[in-house]
Every structure is written in C-alpha cells, then in structure tokens.
Amino acid sequence: MRYRTATPADLDPLVKLYKTVAAVEGGIARQEHEITEDYIQNFLDKSLTNGLIIVGEHPKNENEFIAEIHGYKAGIQVFDHVLGDVTLVVHPGFQGKKIGRTILMIFLDEIARTRLDIGRVELIARESNEKAIALYQSVGFLIEGRLEMRIKTADHYEADIPMGWQNPNYEL
C-alpha cells in the first residue's frame, strides 16, 4: 500500500471512501446522506491550504482509497499553533490490519518533522469507540475531558472525548 499527501484531484475517491465508512454504524459521526462533495471539498481545501491530509491507496487500485486522515488550522491567530478537526477513516474491509495506526503515525511524523509551526493536534472520539481512543492514547494523545450528551443516536446520548497530542519539535 502507498500513503501520500492528497491532491485536489482526489475528491471522488475521498467521497467514495467517506460514504463507505459512514454506511457503517459508529464509523464516523456523519451519516451516509451527509457525505456530500461539498463536505469533502471543504475539508480537502482547508487541509491542503492550512493543514495536512494523507491518503492510503488501495494496493490494487491507486484511484481507490482505503484510509485517510486530515486536519487543519482554524485560521484564528491565537490558535495558529493548533491543528484541529482531525478525522481518521479506514475502509471497513481493511480495519483491524493496523492501517489506521500506520496512517496516524505517518501523519504525526510528518507534523513532527516538517510542521514546526504546529504545536498541538486535537481530535474528538466518541466514547463508545474504545479502539480509537486506545489507538490515540498509544501514540501519545491525552484525554482532556468529556463532552457529555454530545452524540445523539436513535436511542441514547453519549459523550465525546476530546484528546490532544503535542509536537515534541514545536518551535514557538
């Protein structure tokens, strides 16, 4: 498998990947009908302009993605050292194969090596997604609180868990 920085031409395979992940209950916070070209184009543009976005290509078809991670700066001066809205998705057929860990490590390594302007990476994980929380903690993210009743499902509410990672090479 090949991992690389996304390009503007990657819109269609990103839409396909996100729709596939959203079709699985608990895959991401958005439902399948909420995955639109505009939604993907928005985070693609922000990540390419003021953040980082990495894709994992399918081993047999480089025009199909099996993983993606992105984040971007908010565009507010006091938060200029923060990369937020980080989202990591892995195609359901490839989960449990360490692909999420690999693309996350590539993402954090790229930040540590080349993005010395980023001191902090922030993400939020659904409390029921214990595997994701454990993954993030295993690479240095810290749990920084609970956002009670943030996620509404068909029959209950659950908390979101904000987490943060600090770039060891950050230069103020």
- 10-residue mean pLDDT profile of the chain (172 residues): values are 96 98 89 96 98 96 94 97 98 96 98 97 96 97 97 92 98 83
Cα–Cα distance, 34 to 133 (Å, whole number):
24
- What's the confidence (pLDDT) of residue 62? 81
If you compute the radius of gyration of the chain from its CA atoms, what whole number of angstroms results? 16
Cα–Cα distance, 161 to 172 (Å, whole number):
27
- What's the confidence (pLDDT) of residue 16? 97
Contact 108, 141 (CB under 8 A): no
- Please provide the average confidence, as pLDDT, over all residues in the chain: 96
Cα–Cα distance, 106 to 3 (Å, whole number):
8
- What's the confidence (pLDDT) of residue 147? 97
| CA diameter of the chain | 46
